[in-house]
């Protein structure tokens, strides 16, 4: 959605390695924002974005207007069931319907062979992979690693909202993920115990307001009741720091 940072640029660089032509779409999508969310104030700086993309020698920037995408009397939506009803989907109803609709429109406009998404939006990436498989889009979805600051904070366009103190407080998200990871590496199999300790750590920061912390199975994205050897799991967090809602996650291989 623009306001590019090094996380986005990592996707561009991956595309440059994997594809002959790289197309970047920038579109702040109104249908994935609820009425009480930050669509109107979502950070935008298309001039800066253009400079960054030129520097990376991107072939095409696709930057349509809302009217070009949705026109008048738009009525058709793409929706994935089940996986969209938990976690982000439970907290933000209709969010993923907006995401899958705009992504399917962009796919139809650009017709890519490969598309690149970031792991930071892990649930979104799994939903898009499911949609591509179910609707037989003729393309491959590649999910690329989270890019972090040196102190561990996951890069996000919304980080610009954080005050200096909130920026420091936000480090608690990555710290809690590492706590969960260490508990699993040390043999803890009870997700209830892991999540309890993570919540205590997150709630120790005054500015935090935890939305959810959860452990899900990588393939099914179903809530994990226990940790089993040979499986892969996402530890997922959504939390407000002050008034800024941040998400983060860690992929664990047991």
Distance, CA of 224 to CA of 153 (rounded, Å):
25
Residue range 223-232, pLDDT digits in tens: 999 999 999 9
Same domain? For 213 and 92 the reply is no
Q: Which residue, chain included where needed, has tokens 């660089």? A: 13
pLDDT-based confidence at 152, cuts 50/70/90?
very high
Q: Considering 113, 144, 175, which residue would you say is the last residue of a domain?
A: 144
pLDDT-based confidence at 134, cuts 50/70/90?
very high
Residue 219's pLDDT is: 83
Residue 150 maps to a domain: no
pLDDT-based confidence at 113, cuts 50/70/90?
very high
Rounded to a whole number, what is the largest CA-CA distance in the chain?
56
Same domain? For 36 and 138 the reply is yes
Same domain? For 117 and 10 the reply is yes
Residue 1 maps to a domain: no
Please report which residue ranges of the chain form alpha helices under DSSP H.
6-18, 46-55, 66-70, 88-91, 95-110, 122-134, 164-169, 171-185, 191-203
Q: What does the pLDDT average to over 87-110?
A: 96
Range of the domain at 51: 6-144
Q: Which residues are catalytic?
A: 8
CATH of the domain at 62: 3.40.50.620
Chain mean pLDDT for the chain: 97
Distance, CA of 245 to CA of 240 (rounded, Å):
4
Whether the predicted pLDDT of 132 surpasses 90: yes
Number of residues assigned to the chain: 254
Same domain? For 202 and 237 the reply is yes
Residue range 177-228, pLDDT digits in tens: 999 999 999 999 999 999 999 999 999 999 999 999 999 999 889 999 999 9
Same domain? For 80 and 179 the reply is no
Decide: pTM greater than 0.75.
Answer: yes
Residue 151 maps to a domain: no
């Amino acid at each position: 959605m623009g306001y590019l940072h090094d996380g986005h640029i990592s996707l561009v660089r991956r595309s440059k390695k994997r594809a002959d032509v790289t197309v970047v779409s920038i579109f702040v999508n109104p249908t994935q924002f609820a009425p009480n969310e930050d669509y109107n104030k979502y950070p935008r700086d298309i001039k800066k974005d253009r400079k960054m993309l030129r520097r990376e020698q991107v072939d095409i920037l696709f930057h349509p207007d809302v009217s070009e995408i949705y026109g008048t009397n738009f009525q058709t939506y793409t929706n994935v069931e089940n996986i969209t009803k938990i976690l982000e989907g439970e907290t933000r109803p209709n969010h993923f319907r907006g995401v899958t609709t705009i992504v399917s429109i962009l796919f139809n406009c650009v017709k890519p062979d490969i598309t690149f998404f970031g792991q930071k939006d892990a649930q979104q990436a799994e939903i898009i992979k499911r949609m591509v498989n179910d609707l037989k889009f003729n393309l491959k979805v590649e999910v690329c690693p989270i890019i972090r600051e040196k102190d561990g904070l996951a890069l996000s366009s919304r980080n610009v909202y954080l005050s200096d103190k909130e920026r420091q407080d936000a480090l608690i998200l990555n710290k809690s993920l590492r706590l969960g990871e260490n508990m699993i590496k040390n043999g803890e199999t009870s997700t209830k115990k892991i999540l309890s300790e993570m919540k205590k750590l997150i709630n120790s920061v005054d500015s935090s307001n935890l939305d959810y912390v959860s452990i899900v199975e990588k393939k099914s994205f179903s809530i994990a009741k226990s940790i089993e050897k040979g499986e892969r799991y996402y530890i997922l967090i959504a939390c407000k720091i002050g008034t800024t809602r941040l998400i983060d996650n860690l992929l664990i291989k047991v």
